[in-house]
Structure 1
Amino acid sequence: MNPTLKLYMFETCPFCQKVIREIKSSGRTDIEFHNIRQSEEDRLELIKVGGKQQVPCLFIDGVPMYESDDIVAWLKNNPEK
């Protein structure tokens, strides 16, 4: 079973753009995008679960992963099935 993936981000963040480029180039369709600058609910959820407002943050089955390089590496090592 595929993990539930949620990416917390905002458009002008260069580290978020790095992750988004990887998602687009891989053709992944299994990731929900949550823009914390467009949704106060998403921003508060990021802080509640992750403990901070840092983006990008990929929630993998509810567990937060920070750092764009770590997220990109995880995405490459765990392709969409």
Structure 2
Amino acid sequence: MQPEVRIYTSSYCPFCARAEQLLLARGVTDMIRFNVDGDPAKRAEMMQITGRRTVPQIFIGDYHVGGCDDLYALDQAGSLVSMLDGSTS
């Protein structure tokens, strides 16, 4: 079973779009998206959880991947697919 994928995002963020495209390409069919545009409480929640201010902030299960560059690095290292398959955490 595929772990839950959550992403804090913004409508006009090209990095958010790239991250979502990669996740879709790797077979993620259901992402929980938290749009922080105009939602200071949601942005504050993201910052509290991650310690970061920028979007996207991506979680696979309980693992905080980080941002778009972190997601691509995970993919290039060959770990993203196994995480999405639930093989690793």
Give TM-score scaled by structure 1 length. Answer: 0.71
Extract unaligned runs of 5+ from structure 2: none
Tell me the percent identity: 26
Residue 60 of structure 1 aligns with an amino acid whose one-letter code is: I
Structure showing greater radius of gyration is 2
- Indicate yes or no: 2:27 matched with 1:22: no
Residues 47-66 of structure 1 deviation map (CA, whole Å, 9 limit, x = unaligned): 11011222111123334222
Q: Is the 8 A contact 1:28 1:80 kept in 2?
A: no
Pairing partner for 2:83 from 65, 78, 81 = 78
How many residue pairs match? The answer is 81
TM-score (norm 2): 0.66
Change (3 A) 1:63 1:49: farther
Structure 1: tracts of 5 or more residues without a match: none
